[in-house]
Structure 1
Amino acid sequence: MTELDNIDRAILRLIAADASLSLNDIADKVGLTATPCWKRIKRMEESGIIRARIAVLDADKLGLPVSVFVSVETADHSAEWLGNFARTIATTPEIVGAWRMSGDVDYLLHVIVPDIAAYDAFYRKLIAAVPLRNVSSRFAMERMKEGPLPI
């Protein structure tokens, strides 16, 4: 793990809150000039701490108001099955997040769709793509918090 000092952490908090900040704005806010600030950002990008700078879009305003958390259990843990499942996740745009879990669920998927019919189509496509033992869906009623990492 790369060692981070207080200035690195301040830079990360700023970028996480607003990736559109200019280099000069970031440097001013952390008390550096542009060149050493840029070098720190570049180091954190190269080490993988900063994986991407993205815009957070409003799913509701884009016509994608249904957020579903899908628990997946499988009886097959072979390399072949995992490869097929990983490819399915990577090529299915409705899946915006996926985690391998411990406990009674093997995988947790975050799926975003425009409506219940679209979720049903997604579900049918998922179970046709890879054999699954159990799929359980939980529909989010309200997004209460979404934010940057606690740096």
Structure 2
Amino acid sequence: MIEIDKIDRAILKILQEDATISISALAERVNLSSTPCWRRIQRLEKEGVIKKRVTLLDPEKINVGVTVFVAIKAQQHNEKWLRKFNDVVTSMSEVVEFYRMSGETDYLLRIVVPDIKSYDAVYKRLIRDMDYLDINSSFAMEQIKLTTALPLDYT
């Protein structure tokens, strides 16, 4: 595990909220000059702490305001099935999160679409070439909290 000090945590906290902040503004906020601040960012990127910088979009404004959580129980538990399932799921742009789970659900997907009809088309693509024991879809009624910022209290 990489050593992350108080200044690194401050840099990461700020960058998680606004990755477009200038180096000089970031450096000022963490009480460093620009060069040492930039070196810290480069080290955090090299070590893989900072994986990438992205732009977050408003789902409503790009017409994908319906979120569906899909819990899947697999029909089979072998590598060939998993590779095929992985290929099917990762090829679907509507699937924005994909997890292998413990417990009763084998896989959990988060899917974003414009409406129920669009989800039905995604569902049909999902089941077209794969066998499942069970698929359970739940539609999010309201998004109460969404953040991409990870807690830094454990570093």
Task: Check whether TM > 0.5.
Answer: yes
TM-score in terms of structure 2 length: 0.94
2:150: which partner in 1?
A: 149
What is the aligned partner in structure 1 of residue 123 from structure 2? 123
Q: Deviations over 1:47-96 (max 9, x none)?
A: 11111111111001111110011001102111111111111222110000
Aligned residue in 1 for 2:2: 2
Gaps of 5+ in 1: none
Amino acid at match of 2:11: I
SS state of the match for residue 133, structure 1? Answer: strand
Secondary structure of the corresponding residue to residue 141 of structure 1: coil
Residue 20 (str. 1) matches residue 20 (str. 2): yes
- Structure 1 position 40, deviation (Å): 1.0
For 1:99-118, list aligned pairs within 5 A: 99-118=99-118
* 1:89-108 equivalence runs, <5 A: 89-108=89-108
2:34 and 2:129 mapped to 1: Cα distance? 50
What is the rounded CA distance, in whole Å, between the counterparts of 1:49 and 1:60 in structure 2?
30
CA RMSD of aligned residues (A): 0.9
CA drift of 1:129 comes to: 3.1
- SS for the counterpart of 1:68 is strand
Q: Which amino acid aligns with 1:141?
A: M
3-state DSSP of counterpart to 2:53 = coil
* Structure 2 counterparts to residues 60-71 of structure 1, below 5 A: 60-71=60-71
Corresponding residue SS for 1:134: strand
Kindly indicate whether residue 11 of structure 2 is the aligned counterpart of residue 35 of structure 1. Answer: no
Aligned AA (2:21): L
Matched, 1:58 2:58: yes
In 2: Cα distance, 1:11 partner to 1:83 partner? 38
Give the AA of the match of 2:151: P
SS at match of 2:121: helix
The unaligned stretches of length 5 or more in structure 2 are: none
User: Taking structure 1 as the reference length, what is the TM-score of the superposition?
Assistant: 0.96
1:117 to partner: Cα distance: 0.5
Equivalent-residue separation in structure 2 for 1:69 and 1:59 (angstroms): 16
Q: Percent of aligned positions with the same letter in both sequences?
A: 43
